[in-house]
Chain A
Amino acid sequence: MGTLHTVNKSPFQNQTLLSCLAHAKAGDAVLMIEDGVYGGTTGTAVSDALSKTDSDVSLYVLGADLAARGIDAGRVAEGVTSVDYEGFVDLAATHDRVQNWL
């Protein structure tokens, strides 16, 4: 079922998250990890891009990376789900391929 996309860079540093969102298709999942988790927070310059993403694309952040950066779970943007490492593995296992956006 679709592709799991991972993004590991801050969207305030480069365009990778935006490019990923522009190439994600219905049934895909986008998981923000490492510095990528900054893209999953609320009220940012990329919030618009997140909210305009096809609702059939699921958006996730890795909770461990949020916690490491002192980002409270309450700051995760609407429509974005926080997952733990097991959730990461489940996403990898339930999609046809993984595309890491470097």
Chain B
Amino acid sequence: MSEVKKFLYVNRKAPYGTIYAQESLEVVLIGAAFDQDVSLAFLDDGVFQLTKGQDTKEIGLKNFSATYRALGDYEVTKLYVEKESLEERGLSLDDLQNIEYEDEDDDYAEKPSIRLVSRAEMAEVMADQDVVLSF
């Protein structure tokens, strides 16, 4: 098999005003089939994608927020969320969904997928990738 590359999907848009967030999720799920080292970054308005309690019944759009909780089943277990972006929008980690994955190397213990990082740490994450895809 060819060499595993590090892929970062960068999410900077709120979920329902444009199609970017949902398209990103679709691409992540498709890409997950290729056994690469996948990470997701949520910054700027992208942090709004992960809020809990989303209810789209009255706007006629599919609520895709539950899909983030399924990412662990596709071995997508690194969701980097930028702390400054949350704070600028009056949010904290408590306002986000609880997203976990089962660690197969640790007796399938449930572990948090969301990793809260500073802006400087996010820049490090970005610089550490082979491929960066933006949405």
Q: A and B, one complex? A: yes
Contact of A3 among B12, B44, B122, B126 (CB under 8 A): B126
The secondary structure that dominates the A interface is mixed
With A100-B134, A102-B20, A102-B135 in contact, is A19–B12 under 8 Å at CB? yes
For B127, the chain A residues whose CB sits under 8 A away are 2-3, 25, 28
Contact flags A1-41 to B (C-beta < 8 A → 1, else 0): 01100000000000110010011110010000000000000
Question: Are A99 and B12 in contact (CB-based, < 8 A)?
Answer: no
- 0/1 interface trace, chain B 28-41, chain A, CB 8 Å (1 if under): 00000000000000
Nearest Cβ distance between residue B46 and chain A, in whole angstroms? 10
- Complex Cα distance, B119 from A24, in Å, reads 10
Interface residues of B toward A: which range? Answer: 10 to 19
A97 touches B12 (CB 8 A): no
- Report yes or no: B119 in contact with A97, Cβ–Cβ below 8 A: no
* Whole-angstrom CA separation of A102 from B46 in the bound complex: 12
Q: Which residues of chain B have C-beta atoms less than 8 A from A22's C-beta?
A: 119, 123
What is the CB-to-nearest-CB distance from B119 to chain A, in angstroms, rounded to a whole number?
Answer: 6
Contact A99 B126 (CB under 8 A): yes
Q: Which residues of B contact A (CB under 8 A)?
A: 10, 12, 20, 43-44, 119, 122-124, 126-127, 129-132, 134-135
